[in-house]
Amino acid sequence: MIVTGNQSLYGVQLGILMLQARFPRIPGDMGNARTWPFPVRYKVVRGASPDKVVRGGAEGLLPLFIEAAQELIEDGCLGITTNCGFLSLFQRELSEALQVPVATSSLMQAAQIQMMLPPGKRVGILTINSTSLSQKHLDAAGVPAGTPVMGTEGGREFTRAILNDEGQLDVDAARQDMLDASRAFVEEHPELGAILFECTNMIPYAADVQEATGLPVYSIYNLVGWLQESLAPRPFG
């Protein structure tokens, strides 16, 4: 058998574009490599802070994301994702610029989740900042019109610590913010049949939210697992 190749790395199919941040990446966070049951390759996009991407609309950052993604592809990555749901704004542009599948945001799952729900039930989006999540973000991800949105910015830890890029995170307080927002969401929208996390830093609290609400919980973890399985299908037989 003769083996040939022209890439720098092997055995890593998925590349993750990371915001430049210093807040703690706890287990379950997309930026913690131990979160994934498969190898991933990270690339930090210098200058793309949480504040600039979420509150600043990622203005002027597209060329940096394209360049970073191209470097991941040159190293051997077969698919690209990002660690911020607000980057749905770049879905079309990144897909056009790159030659591999691209999944910028967990929000891209909203339409599929909605189709799976019983009549009268709706998927709801839980986001790190509802005031910054615009219709433009939702439209770019193909989110169905009228999808309810709830933010965690009313809490005391989660939104502040991440968007202000603080070097310390009170995990218990962040978990409580997630639970409080989720319960308020269900109370305000009793028609909810599922919750979709916009923010990739919410993954560690998915089990808590599911237990508290009794609803299915979706996140970037689901989307990335689906993408990875397409890039490296499990062999059978």
Prediction pTM value: 0.94
C-alpha atoms less than 13 angstroms from C-alpha of 168 in its C-beta half-sphere: 2
The correct CATH number of 106-219 out of 3.20.20.60, 3.40.50.1860, 1.10.10.10, 3.40.50.2000 is 3.40.50.1860
Q: What is the structure's pLDDT at 200?
A: 97
pLDDT tens for each residue of 80-100: 999 999 999 999 999 999 999
Give the C-alpha separation, 194 to 225, whole Å: 19
Contact 97, 17 (CB under 8 A): no
**Weakest-pLDDT range from 4-13, 106-115, 187-196:** 4-13
Mean pLDDT over each residue of the chain, to the nearest integer: 95
Domain-wise residue ranges, the chain: 14-104+222-231, 106-219
Say if residue 191 is exposed, middle or buried (CB neighbours under 10 Å; 0-12, 13-18, 19+): exposed
Pairing of strands 79-82, 14-19: parallel
